[in-house]
Chains A and B, each alone.
Chain A
Amino acid sequence: MEFYKEQNSNIKKPVVNAKTMTVSKQTLILIPIIVALLIVPTSYMLTFAYYAFGTKSTTLMDTASKVLYLTEPNTALEEMEFDMEFSLFSMDLSFDQYKQVGGEQYPIRRYDLHFVLDDLVDKEMTSNLERTPPKFPTQTNQWLVHPAQGMPEFNSGHEWQVLAGLPDETVVEAYLSFNDLYQVIDVRSELPGIDVVWAAIYTGTEDEMLSADGDVVSPIGYPVQPDRTYWSPFRDSMSHEETFLQMLKDIQPYEELAAEVSSHKNLELEERIAFIEENGFDTYGAVITGPKREVEALKDSALIRHMKLGEVKLWNWTK
């Protein structure tokens, strides 16, 4: 009996060993192949998790959107047409920017932003504008000028002359700089027959276009006309001024990103928010649009110190 048991155990041993060998061979072959193939999908899931629970993709999108409303005069975005694409640890955000000239919105720029996690590593901007604002803002080359500032780099007389030479069947966009600080509501009532589309708000830095630290700043402001578009941050806003202030506070934690997206080199939000909270909302300049004749009629307005002509389009005014 003992002999048989011993013999059986001797027979089984090689079978178990052969099976173990086969399994370990399979494991040796399969593990590196499968682990290598899991790296990319797992990284993809981690990327999605980062944009869902880390720095949210919607936060990056909202910051880009809000800063453009506040720093690029007379522009709007259509967030429903934003293109969002995700690749390994990165996100591409593409969208069009629109400008109101006369009674219609025209696409003026295409933005392609490439984020690696929350870092904006590449920004491409394609512009359709015929009259482009200065790419590198300085103290004197900006289109909206505070009353305390000296002469700007553009020649206002020349701009009025160009406007006068345009056909009557055109609509224009104009950047008006005032000779004093005004309330936006007063500016609207003083400029009849046209749309005041964007107002630049005095934030204590525009006298010299320098922040307290000596950095060059650019105008910030908000769209004045009621905006009923579904995606606009000003939709359902009871006070555009308060929405403007709230938006400044919203983008403050992401100021570095906001400054990179915008054409402004510095935003200096802390200083400017504190000034607005203390002094309220006064405007020193506005962007208007309307029929060429109506804009030309403002030449003798006591309100206006400088005018810089923006975009010009064929007649589309129906008001």
Chain B
Amino acid sequence: MELDKVKLKSFQVLGWFSVIAGIVALALLNIAMLSGYDLPITSQLSFWITVILISGLISLSNRQSRSLGFWGLGIAVYLAFFIAVIFILGWIIVPFP
């Protein structure tokens, strides 16, 4: 019974971690873009996505933390889409090697 409670709690913690990590990554991305400086977040985005994705996927396996997992996954998918768009379009709009 106690183990179940611990399991449930840890799934919820992972779910919240996934969501909060996603929100922090988005906030840092906003700061980097609005300030115009090349902050470390832009080069570490793939690391952030991996962390959000893994914790989000784990929290999906429990019914209580599933909605949090979906939020985390949604943010991770958005960040991955953002990287892909910026990389491909950046290659088109900047003609220099």
How many residues of B are counted as interface, with CB atoms below 8 angstroms from the partner's CB atoms? 27
Is B33 in contact with A30, judged by CB distance below 8 angstroms? no
For B12-44 the 0/1 string (1 means CB < 8 A from A) is 000000010011001101100110100000000
B71 and A40 within 8 A (CB):
no
Instruction: Tell which of A27, A44, A84 touches B94, judged by Cβ atoms closer than 8 Å.
Output: A84
Residues of B55-92 at the interface with A, using a CB-CB cut-off of 8 Å, are 64, 67-68, 71, 74-75, 78, 82, 85-86, 89-90, 92
Nearest chain A CB to B41 CB, angstrom units: 11
A86 within 8 A of B: yes
Q: In the bound complex, how far is the Cα of B81 from the Cα of A49, in angstroms?
A: 13
Partner of A80, one of B22, B26, B89, B96: B96
Task: Let me know if B93 and A41 touch, CB within 8 A.
Answer: no
**When the two chains form the complex, which single residue of A33, A41, A80, A86 contacts B82, counting CB atoms closer than 8 Å?**
A41
Assess whether B93 is in contact with A57, with CB atoms less than 8 Å apart: yes
B26, B29, B95 interface centre (most CB from chain A within 10 Å): B95
| Beta-carbon contact of A38 and B86 below 8 Å | no
- Is A51's CB within 8 Å of the partner chain B? yes
| Contacts A48-B90, A58-B93; A34 near B26 (Cβ below 8 A) | yes
Determine the interface band of chain A, counting residues with CB < 8 A from chain B: 20 to 34
A58's contact among B30, B36, B90, B95, by CB below 8 Å, is which? B95
- Inter-subunit contact B19/A30 (CB<8 Å): yes
A37 touches B23 (CB 8 A): yes
A45 touches B82 (CB 8 A): yes
Q: Assess the A61–B26 pair: CB atoms within 8 A.
A: no
Binding site for A on B (CB under 8 A): 19, 22-23, 26-27, 29-30, 33-34, 36, 64, 67-68, 71, 74-75, 78, 82, 85-86, 89-90, 92-96
Closest 10 CB pairs of A and B: A37-B26, A48-B89, A57-B93, A52-B92, A51-B93, A52-B89, A40-B30, A45-B85, A23-B67, A52-B93
| Extra contacts besides A41-B82, A86-B93 (11): CB < 8 Å | A30-B71, A34-B23, A34-B75, A37-B27, A37-B29, A41-B26, A51-B93, A57-B93, A61-B95, A82-B96, A87-B36
